[in-house]
Structure 1
Amino acid sequence: MAFLDLSNLQKSFGQNHVVKDFSIAVEQGEFVSLLGPSGCGKTTVLRMVGGFETPSAGSITIDGRDVTGLRPNQRAIGMVFQSYALFPNLTVGQNVAFGLKVAGVGRAERDARVAEMLDLIGLADLGARYPFQLSGGQQQRVALARALAPRPKVLLLDEPLSALDAKIRVSLRTEIRAIQKRLGITTIFVTHDQEEALSMSDRVVVMSGGRADQIGTPFEIYNAPATRFVAGFVGTLNTFDAVVTDPATGSVTLNGLPLALDRPLDAAKGATIGVALRPEAARLGRDPSREVVLPATITAVQFMGAVVRITAEVAGRRFDLDTFNRVDTPPPAVGGEAEISVGARDFILLGD
């Protein structure tokens, strides 16, 4: 049995079905992200795991124990909120010690645990300060230390980085992942930021409409999206409607342009299917190592530092291509004709 098992969870508020038949088995020490747009049900799933919402149906098991009907303080979970939720009248050390004190942990053990946690988050010298004397990133570290102090079995993180600026977010997500690995604590992380989910997680659950559209490793989610929603939500994608001309050989046409996908297609001749390409999968110019060459017209060039995004028109559709910035290779001129080379296996077939 998995360490954290969510089986057929459902949650309804009146006639509004927020979570629909959600299941996942999470192994001990695994870091799993729930990723999706606002309103997809990811925070409701997290709150059900934490005991802050009661499932309308389904069960939640932690370390072999059914906790579905238990209160939050009976589940051995630690929770970090988006808004920090620190007590403004308590010092950093007192905030970290709060859960231990409520649990009746003795003073000596409590002080030792607080010192350990402050050292873990790199704030060993700031225990006597108050939250208002800390930066946003420091406050979130304190919230993390407070959640970890009672040694929970499962750590729940509800968009903990969304209130921070971009640079601090990148730094703190690296720290959170390092701490999680060091402690080996099973973690569920809620985010709407795909970069956070892909960079931090062992597995990602992409949610839509209260359901898990796909569960997989970051590599699987990005490179082999199971549905159109996952394909469009995770990363940038060039999408086309293709007409099947020979299902056995994978031959299609894009707005009359013949194309061989080099794989059999589960579609009838004459059927329309969705195909897609990531911007980084294409190369500007003719590349003999790639089977497909698409004629294009350059419509825009965006310099983004290390990456140059080239936008073109291909088969009557917008096509984005990403290439690394090189000082010896100037970007193409807007309005010019070009060729884009693509590997046949780089095309993604879009499901429903």
Structure 2
Amino acid sequence: MSFLNLSHLEKSFGANRVVKDFNLAVEKGEFISLLGPSGCGKTTVLRMVAGFEVPTSGGIVIDGQDVTGLKANQRNIGMMFQAYALFPNLTVAENVAFGLKVKGVAKDRRDARVAEMLRLIGLPEMGGRYPFQLSGGQQQRVALARALAPSPRVLLLDEPLSALDAKVRVSLRNEIREIQRELGITTIFVTHDQEEALSMSDRVVVMNGGIAEQVGAPFEVYNRPATRFVATFVGTLNIFDGKVTGPETAEVAGVPVRLAEPVAVAQGARLSLALRPEAVHLGRKEGAEVVLPAVIQGVEFLGSIIRVRAEVAGSVVALDTFNRSDAPPPAIGTQAEVSLSGRDLIVLQD
């Protein structure tokens, strides 16, 4: 049996079903992200696991114990919030020790655990400071230490990085993941930021309208989305109109291609095919089945990547190419060619 099991969870607020038949099995030490747009139910799932919301139906089992009917303070769960929620009148050390003090841990053991946690988050000399004397990133580290200090069975992270600037977010998410791996703590992370979810997680749960549309490793979710929503929500897509010509073949812009997987659609039927920007190549690529004329419409410099927008067969297609100092990007308005392979096409399903 998995360490954390959510079985047929449902949550309704009046007539509004926010979470619908949600099922998830999490292994011990696994890092799971709940990813989706605002209002999809991901935070409600987290709050039910924490004990802040009571499920309308369904069950929650942690390490073999049914905790569905237990209060939040009976579940031994650590929670890190979007707002830092540090006590402004307590020092850093006192904030970290708060949960231990509530549990009645002796002072000498509290002090030792606080010192251990401050070393873990890289702030060993800041125990005597107050929250207002820390940067946003440092405050979040303290919030993480406070959540971890009582040695919880499960760590819950509710969009903890959204209030930080981009550079600090990247640094802190790496630190959180390293600490999580070091401690081996089972973790559920809620975010609407796909880059965070894909870069940090063992598995990603993509939610929409209260249901889990796909659960899988980041590589699977990105490269083989199970539904149209997952395909369009995770990453950038180019969408082509295609026609089925056989069990594993289709026609795109009049050119026959072999798809990576069979399609359960009748021959001659129209279907939508998607392609990630990195799978579209500027110029002729060896082995590409489709080469189409294009006109450059726009160029966006993104550092290591240059995103080019080109008009292809009446549609605007985005493609990514690596930035090279010896190869400047194409000029807007110039004629070009783009190439692609059928194996990279994603069949979009509802």
Runs of 4+ in 1 over 6 A off after TM superposition: none
Specify which of 257, 278, 287 is matched with residue 285 of structure 2: 287
CA contact (8 A) 1:247 1:266 kept: no
Specify which of 305, 312, 315 is matched with residue 314 of structure 1: 312
CA contact (8 A) 2:82 2:161 kept: yes
1:249 & 1:196 partners in 2: Cα distance?
34
SS at the partner of 1:32? strand
1:80-159 paired onto structure 2 within 5 Å:
80-159=80-159
Q: What is aligned with 1:259?
A: 256
1:249 & 1:350 partners in 2: Cα distance?
14
Q: Deviations over 1:167-190 (max 9, x none)?
A: 000000000000000000000000
CA contact (8 A) 2:43 2:190 kept: yes
1:243-258 paired onto structure 2 within 5 Å:
243-244=243-244, 246-254=245-253, 257-258=254-255
| 1:133 shift after superposition | 0.6
Q: What is aligned with 2:344?
A: 346
CA contact (8 A) 2:224 2:346 kept: yes
Q: How many residues align?
A: 349
Q: What letter matches 2:181 in structure 1?
A: K
Between stretches 46-55 and 294-303, larger displacement belongs to: 294-303
2:302 & 2:11 partners in 1: Cα distance?
43
Q: What letter matches 2:258 in structure 1?
A: L
| 1:269 shift after superposition | 2.6
| TM-score under structure 2 length normalisation | 0.98
1:90 & 1:316 partners in 2: Cα distance?
62
2:263 maps to 1:268: no
| 1:288 shift after superposition | 2.1
| 1:210 shift after superposition | 0.3
What is the root-mean-square deviation in Å for CA atoms of aligned residues?
1.1
Does the C-alpha gap of structure 1 residues 124 and 260 become closer, same or farther in structure 2, counting only changes over 3 Å? same
CA contact (8 A) 2:247 2:267 kept: no
Between stretches 290-299 and 271-280, larger displacement belongs to: 290-299
Q: Deviations over 1:292-314 (max 9, x none)?
A: 21222211112222111110111
Q: What letter matches 2:256 in structure 1?
A: L
Does the C-alpha gap of structure 1 residues 37 and 43 become closer, same or farther in structure 2, counting only changes over 3 Å? same
Q: What is aligned with 1:330?
A: 328
Q: Deviations over 1:50-103 (max 9, x none)?
A: 000000010000000000010011001000000010101000000000100010
| TM-score under structure 1 length normalisation | 0.97
2:248 & 2:19 partners in 1: Cα distance?
41
2:154 & 2:330 partners in 1: Cα distance?
51
CA contact (8 A) 2:9 2:56 kept: yes
SS at the partner of 2:144? helix
The unaligned stretches of length 5 or more in structure 1 are none
Q: What is aligned with 1:192?
A: 192
CA contact (8 A) 1:249 1:265 kept: yes
2:247 & 2:102 partners in 1: Cα distance?
67
2:297 & 2:101 partners in 1: Cα distance?
63
Between stretches 288-297 and 41-50, larger displacement belongs to: 288-297
1:72-83 paired onto structure 2 within 5 Å:
72-83=72-83
Q: Deviations over 1:152-173 (max 9, x none)?
A: 0000000000000000000000
2:156 & 2:168 partners in 1: Cα distance?
20
1:178 & 1:269 partners in 2: Cα distance?
50
Does the C-alpha gap of structure 1 residues 100 and 315 become closer, same or farther in structure 2, counting only changes over 3 Å? same
Q: What letter matches 1:223 in structure 2?
A: N
